[in-house]
Amino acid sequence: MSLIEAPRTPTRGHRTGGINWEKWGWIYMRASGVVLIVLIFGHLFVNLVAGEGVKAIDFAFVGGKLADPFWIVWDGLMLWLALIHGGNGMRTLVNDYATNPKVRKVLLIGIAASTVILIILGTLVITTFDPCPAGADPALLPSFCEAS
């Protein structure tokens, strides 16, 4: 066997059925990417460009947004699509550059763990969020909290 294998030589032999996860990952990167362009540009416009931009962001601003199911769905979709898109991208880089198998395994487990933990954390935050927490300083809350 020569030192340099022919291009397209399979590393682990030919596939013998089962789900082709690499193919679905490839498709996912493109499909989620297109949706994320809409979601993230919309997010950036509302939070950085419109009105007073970044200076308008505080608890009351976020509370006002997350009191609306529209923004819960928007932020939730962004959370899931972006984290999996980013995690899968980082997996590609680790597979390309981490030549030590042990280092590679640690990095891949780290990426998978942070993806799962942050998706659970983020989903819990936006679904259990209370824009008018009891006992909080009313000056820091969204204006609609005063009515209740």
Partner 1 sequence: MPEKSASNLVAEPQSPPKIRSPKRPAGTLYRGKEGMWSWVLHRITGVAIYFFLLVHILDTALVRVSPEAYNAVIDTYKTPLMGLGEIALVAAIAFHAFNGLRIILIDFWAFGAKHQRTMFWVVIGLWVVLLAAFIPRQLMHIFGG
Closer residue to partner 1 (CB): 93 or 106: 93
Nearest approach, Cβ of residue 147 and partner 1 (Å): 18
Closer residue to partner 1 (CB): 106 or 113: 113
Nearest approach, Cβ of residue 145 and partner 1 (Å): 10
Task: For residue 114, give every residue at least 6 positions away whose Cβ sits within 8 Å of its Cβ, in sequence order, or none.
Answer: 87
Closer residue to partner 1 (CB): 53 or 105: 53
Report how far Cα 47 is from the mean position of its chain's Cα atoms: 17
Q: Which amino acid is at 24?
A: W
Q: Which amino acid is at 40?
A: I
User: How far is Cα 110 from Cα 65, in angstroms, rounded to an integer?
Assistant: 32
Nearest approach, Cβ of residue 13 and partner 1 (Å): 25
Q: Are 74 and 42 in contact (CB under 8 A)?
A: yes
Closer residue to partner 1 (CB): 1 or 147: 147
Nearest approach, Cβ of residue 113 and partner 1 (Å): 12
Burial 111-129 (b: 16+ CB within 10 A, else e): beeebeeebeebeeebeee
How many degrees, rounded to 5, is the angle at CA 99 between CA 98 and CA 105?
Answer: 60
Binding site for partner 1 (CB under 8 A): 30, 33-34, 36-37, 40-41, 44, 48-49, 52-55, 57-60, 62-63, 66, 79, 82-83, 86-87, 89-90, 93, 114, 118, 121-122, 124-125, 128-129, 133, 136-137, 140-141
Closer residue to partner 1 (CB): 55 or 102: 55
